[in-house]
Amino acid sequence: MVSGPPGRGRTSGSAERSGSTGGLSGSSAERCGRSGGRSGSTGRGSSDRGVRLEITARDGDARAGWLHTERGSVRLPCFMPVGTRGSVRALSTADLACLGAPVMLANTYHLLLRPGTDLIEAAGGIHAFAAWDGHVLTDSGGYQAHSLPSSVDDGGVTIRSVYDGGLVYLTPESVVAAQEAIGADVQMVLDVCAPYPAGAEELRSALQRTAAWAKRSVAAKRREGQALFGIVQGGVDPGLRRLSAELTVALDFDGYGIGGLSVGEPRGAMLQALESAIGVLPQDRARYLMGVGDPVGLVEGVARGVDLFDCVAPTRLARHGAVLTARGRYNLRRAEHAGSLEPLEEGCPCATCSRYTRAYIRHLLMVGEPVALRLVTWHNVSWMLSLMDRINAAIGAGRLDSLRAEIMAAWG
C-alpha cells in the first residue's frame, strides 16, 4: 500500500474534492477525509418508492440532479465502477471511497455462487461485508445468460457456474430474493439479453420473456426501501424497443435500465435504439444505460437523457496497461514511455499522476508487479469520475454540445 503526500507539487483530484491531503491509501477511507463524496446524503431522504429523482439542471434532453435513496443521494449523471464480486479489480472499497465513487455495481450471479448470499446476509449485507458506505446496485445475472453457456425457458435461465462447472437455475423470484439478501440499494430484474445480430423473432421472444419476468419480479419483491429497476430490451429494432419500454413502464418500476446494447452493434444503431426507448420512459424516473462506459457512449447517452452508466472497460484496460486521457487512450507498455518522467496524463490531479512517472509505472508493469495494476486502475477510474464531473458542470452551464464535440474529437 502507498500513502503520504503526493509528489512533484501536484494534488490529488479526489483529495481536492474531499479535503484530503493524502495520496493513494489502502488502509481506510478516513485517511482520505471523505464522508461520502459524490454519494453523500443531502438529508432530503427518499420517497416511499425507495428512490426519488430530483432534476436540478437541463441542457436539451440531458439532465443533471440527484437520485435520493434511504442511504443518501447520488449525483447524476453517474458512472458506476464495476465490482462484480463485491470489489473493483485492483482497488479496495477504501480506494473507491477515496476516489469519490458514488456507486459500486456488483453482480448477483457471481455473489450467489461465491461466497453465497447466506454469508453476505449474515454479515449484515453487502455494505457491511465489503466495508463500503456508498451505494450498491446489483445486476441480476441476465447478462451472464447472454455471455456464458446457458439455456432459457419460460421459468428462468440455467447457467453453468464459472467456478465449478455446476448448473445454477435462476428465476425472477430467486434473483429478487438473492438481491434482497445481498442488501443492494438498487436491484435489477432478471432479463433476457438477445445477441447481436438477432432476428425479429428472437428479439420479440427475449422482449416478451423479459416483460413476463419483470411482472413476476414486482410480485416477488418484499424488502422495503430497496429500489427495483425494470429493463428494456428489443435489440436495435426501434419498434421493439418502444414496445418493450411500454410494457416495462406499465409495471411502474422505481427506475429503468436499457439493456442489450453495446453488444457489438454499430454506435448509430445503438443510439437510435436508445432514443426509441427513452422516448417512452417517464421523466420522473432514473434511466440506466447498462454496460456502456466509453467516453463517447457516456456523453452521447447523457445528451439523450441517460442518468446512470456502468462498464468494466476502465479497469479492464488498466490491467493491460491502457491509460485513459483527454486525448484518447495509449498503451503504457510501449517502449516510447520507458524513459518518460511525465505522469500518466499531464495536468491530471489524481493520486497516481500526482506521485508517479510513466517510466516507473511502466517498469512495474513490465516486471509484473501487482501494484502497477492498482496505480493505472486508480488513474482510469479517477479519470472516468472526473469526466462525469465535467459532464455535470457542462449541463449546468448549458454547454454540453461543446464538451460532446471535444470528446468526439479525441475518442470518436
- In eight-state DSSP terms, residue 285 is S
C-alpha cell at 102: 458514488
Residue with cell 518522467: 341
Catalytic residue among 59, 95, 139, 254: 139
Residue with cell 463524496: 37
Beta pairing partners, 158: 151, 169
Other C-beta atoms closer than 10 Å to the C-beta of 56 total 13
φ, ψ (nearest 5 deg) of residue 271: -70, -35
Cβ neighbours of residue 396 closer than 8 Å, sequence gap 6 or more? 56, 57, 59, 64
Cβ neighbours of residue 114 closer than 8 Å, sequence gap 6 or more? 85, 163
* Ramachandran class of 160: left when φ > 0, alpha when ψ lies in -120 to 50, beta otherwise: beta
Q: Name the strands in the sheet holding 167-170, side by side, starting at the edge strand that comes first in the sequence.
A: 150-152, 157-160, 167-170
310 in active site: yes
3-class secondary structure, 138: strand
Q: Cα 14 to the chain's mean position, in Å?
A: 18
Other C-beta atoms closer than 10 Å to the C-beta of 189 total 29
CA distance 89 to 320: 12
CA distance 38 to 382: 12
Q: Which of 187, 27, 44, 41 is nearest to 106 (CA)?
A: 187
Residues written for the chain: 412
φ, ψ (nearest 5 deg) of residue 81: -60, 145
237 in active site: no
Residues forming the active site: 139, 310
